[in-house]
Amino acid sequence: MSKLVTIYGGSGFVGRYIARRMAKAGWRVRVAVRNPNEAIFVRPYGVVGQVEPILCNIRDDASVRAAMQGAEAVVNCVGILVETGRNRFDPVQAEGAARVARLAAEEGVARMVQISAIGADADALSDYAASKGEGEMAVQKYMPDAVILRPSIVFGPEDDFFNRFAGMARNSPVLPVVGQGTLFQPVYVDDVAQAAVLGVIGKAEGGIYELGGPEVDTFRGLMVRMLDVIHRRRLILNMPNWIARIMAWGFDLLQSITLGLFTNRMITRDQVKNLANDNVVSEGAKTFADLGIKPVSMASVLPDYLWRFRPSGQYDAIKDSARNLRNS
């Protein structure tokens, strides 16, 4: 019988790519999620019955334990960028990771892969980064040989970074950014998935790996690249930190007083804190090179999914060619 891997949060952005790769490698894949009915799309990643979404609550021991029964390995992809309702950083990213690792150790699961983030630090000012760091510490406590992956900003067809700002650029002449000089090292989602698979199958040594793509650029520089891909000219407006903090406070307050009816998808106070720090691979850290993976560039991927934000969508290049013919 094929080996089984349980992927917590396996229908999310990164998790679905890991699930697809594990299925192609011949493993049975159990996708543990809050809403299995919304994760049906993972089933075609393998043959009938090979990839199955199941109900799991990362806050509940019994639920997490049941999801890993019979698994050779577990991958924890559960994480949030914004706190909403009961989804708070500590219960999800610190306690959730600790729960998966502790129960995996109790159940004799052979290997664990934890998806974290560059900047994870239990002593960080940002609650997001601190909870990620606390989660890492717990994973290393219970599963000392676990593979912990810290990607920079992850890009790909379903990302919430380039898609988000491209959508803003389509509807507004101004593109506001916070921390325009902050450095990032965007990494392609399938490269992160490839690294996770190496951890699952035992071909990666335990420890922390910081994953960044081949290019480092400022926040502003990334927006310039994105605008070039979608063929739009927009004013990139740097928002001073003090203004960003006031706006973030207002949006956070609005979310609080509306009891979550309004979700702050604009900018939070915690995100302002995070944007004060560069998001690049640290000197001396284990990287893709230690895994034998050559990460792909943004230029080779962004046009494949950002074309829909161009003025004429998929026909933009054709219209440019026709215009050039008329002018020649």
- pLDDT, residue 2, reads 85
Long-range contacts of 162-171 (CB under 8 A, 24+ apart): 162/222, 162/226, 162/302, 162/306, 163/305, 163/306, 165/223, 165/226, 166/226, 166/229, 166/230, 166/306, 166/309, 167/309, 169/226, 169/227, 169/230, 169/232, 169/234, 169/309, 170/230, 170/232, 170/309
Per-residue pLDDT of 70-81, as tens digits, reads 999 999 999 999
Is 3 a residue whose pLDDT tops 60?
yes
User: Residue 70: how many CB atoms within 10 A of its CB?
Assistant: 12
Is 262 a residue whose pLDDT tops 90?
no
User: Residue 246: how many CB atoms within 10 A of its CB?
Assistant: 13
Is 281 a residue whose pLDDT tops 60?
yes
Measure Cα distances from 107 to 52, 65, 73, 137, 139 in Å: 21, 8, 11, 20, 15
The gap from C-alpha 153 to its chain's centroid, in whole angstroms, comes to 7
Strand residue runs (E) in the chain: 4-8, 28-33, 51-55, 73-76, 111-115, 147-151, 154-155, 174-178, 183-184, 187-188, 207-211, 217-218, 235-239
Q: Amino acid identity, residue 277?
A: N
Q: Is residue 102 part of a domain?
A: yes
Q: Is residue 269 part of a domain?
A: no
Q: What mean pLDDT comes out for the span 68-95?
A: 95
Q: Is residue 133 part of a domain?
A: yes
CA distance 253 to 276: 22
User: Residue 294: how many CB atoms within 10 A of its CB?
Assistant: 9
CA distance 173 to 230: 14
* Eight-class DSSP state of 126: S
257 bridge partner residues: none
Per-residue pLDDT of 164-176, as tens digits, reads 999 999 999 999 9
Is 328 a residue whose pLDDT tops 70?
no
Q: What mean pLDDT comes out for the span 113-129?
A: 97
Q: What mean pLDDT comes out for the span 243-267?
A: 88
Average per-residue pLDDT for the chain: 95
Question: 321 pLDDT band (50/70/90 cuts)?
Answer: low
pTM (two decimals):
0.94
* Eight-class DSSP state of 146: -
Does residue 118 contact residue 281 with C-beta atoms inside 8 Å?
Answer: yes
Q: Is residue 221 part of a domain?
A: no
The gap from C-alpha 151 to its chain's centroid, in whole angstroms, comes to 8
Is 254 a residue whose pLDDT tops 80?
yes
Q: Amino acid identity, residue 287?
A: T
Q: Is residue 177 part of a domain?
A: no
Dihedral, CA atoms, 271, 277, 278, 282, nearest 10 degrees? -120
- pLDDT, residue 325, reads 58
Q: What mean pLDDT comes out for the span 151-158?
A: 98
- What CATH number does the domain containing 78 carry? 3.40.50.720
The encoded tokens of residue 107 equal: 């159940």
Please identify which residue in the block is written with the tokens 């850290």. 285
Question: 50 pLDDT band (50/70/90 cuts)?
Answer: very high
Per-residue pLDDT of 203-241, as tens digits, reads 999 999 999 999 999 999 999 999 999 999 999 999 999
CA distance 266 to 268: 7
Q: Is residue 247 part of a domain?
A: no
Q: Is residue 8 part of a domain?
A: yes
- pLDDT, residue 186, reads 98
Q: Is residue 312 part of a domain?
A: no
Per-residue pLDDT of 284-315, as tens digits, reads 999 999 999 999 999 999 999 999 999 988 77
Closest listed residue to residue 279, CA positions, set 118, 125, 81, 129: 118
The encoded tokens of residue 245 equal: 């903090």
Per-residue pLDDT of 166-213, as tens digits, reads 999 999 999 999 999 999 999 999 999 999 999 999 999 999 999 999
- Domain containing 196: what range? 4-155+186-213+280-295
Side-chain-side CA neighbours of 142 within 13 Å: the count stands at 24
Question: 323 pLDDT band (50/70/90 cuts)?
Answer: low
- pLDDT, residue 299, reads 97
Domain count along the chain: 1
